[in-house]
Amino acid sequence: MCYDDTARPPLPPIAGGAQRAEGRAIELTAEDDNRFTAFSARTGSPGGPGIVILPDVRGLHQFYRELAIRFAEANVHATAFDYFGRTAGFGDRDDQFDSMKHVQLTQADWVALDTAAVVAHLRSPEGGGADRVFTVGFCFGGRHSFNQAARGHGLSGVIGLYGIPAPRSADDLNAPVLLASAYECPVLGLFGGADRAISSGDIEAFRQALGSSPAGAEGSTARTWPVSPCGGNLAGDPPGPVAAFGPPVATPGPGRASHQRP
């Protein structure tokens, strides 16, 4: 996972007239009838951008609920969702939940089906009526976020932080570096140079694959912060490229990074 259980996204800068957004737990149903928990936060006005949050291995942890609220406070409708409805049943997960058992069972097609349901929610009045939708994911979710660009969701862009781009085994057919040629929208990959799970060679191969994809001409890129580990604080640098790409990405709150990876 990218952040330990005490980490929280930072509060936004104080601004005159700014109001704290609120979110709510919701139930969504995927096309295969999977029921899953999600957390939705809307801005004060309909329309504008929306973003699907794909969490790390913990699924719908409190960090990602609060991140959805931070996005809404930045005028981006946001919904985070739980991956494990098919294997662990419907409901909330506490910090004692054995997520890694269910991560190993999670299939890429399931994540795509659930993402499609979240995208539909964001486009609906209940989700904010977003007129353009992005995804952002972290570690496990970062890899899946990249690959949503090839899933026909009609996305305006995808963002992945610390998502492993290279094949993890000889039979890993879902590696982003292998699927980049099918990506249909701009892709922004954010990596930490001190991340022990992702080599600089893997990042460069992904960058090259993005550049040769149809979406590459639209501004896809992979960017590395040299001294940052997985979950490292990227404050002070990402807002520029991410804001240019679309919605802003909140930076990690306090708490040490963890190197537990799927």
**pLDDT of the residue at 240:** 34
CA dihedral over 142, 146, 147, 149, signed as positive or negative: positive
User: Which of 187, 204, 190, 119 lies closest to 150, judged by CA?
Assistant: 187
**What residue type is 226 in one-letter code?**
P
Alpha-carbon gap, residue 5 to 158, rounded angstroms: 25
CB 116 within 8 A of CB 153: yes
Residue 33 CA to residue 30 CA, distance in Å, equals 5
Rg (C-alpha) for the chain, rounded Å, is 17
- Pick the closest to residue 141 from 120, 115, 167 (CA basis): 115
Q: How confident is the model at residue 18 (pLDDT cuts 50, 70, 90)?
A: low
**Domains and their CATH numbers in the chain:** 23-245 (3.40.50.1820)
pLDDT in tens, 154-171: 999 999 999 999 999 999
pTM: 0.83
Spatial distance between the Cα atoms of 68 and 59, rounded to a whole number of angstroms: 13
For residue range 40-95, what is the model confidence (pLDDT) as tens digits? Answer: 999 999 999 999 999 998 888 899 999 999 999 999 999 999 999 888 788 777 67
Helices (H) and strands (E) in the chain, counts: 8, 8
Please tell me the least confidently modeled range out of 106-120, 200-214, 223-237: 223-237
CA distances from 102 to 85, 87, 93, 178, 231 (A): 10, 6, 12, 24, 22
